[in-house]
Amino acid sequence: MTVDEAVNHAARLLEQAELELTNLPLMERLDNLASSWLSMAHLLNEREVV
């Protein structure tokens, strides 16, 4: 897994969340999953720096 892959997963999930305007629970779930991917990207980035 690379930083770019993790960021791409997050972007895809956020795009899906934008389409779920009438389903707030699903929109929030997708947003939370995207946040998890961004956290993973951050951790991967820190690992690459070290």
The residue to which tokens 């999930």 are assigned: 13
For residue 37, the model assigns a pLDDT of 98
For residue 8, the model assigns a pLDDT of 98
Segments forming the whole domain that contains residue 33: 3-49
Provide the CA 30 distance to its chain's centre, in angstroms.
8
Residues 2-50 pLDDT 10s: 999 999 999 999 999 999 989 999 999 999 999 999 999 999 999 887 7
For residue 44, the model assigns a pLDDT of 95
Number of domains within the chain = 1
* The residue count for the chain: 50
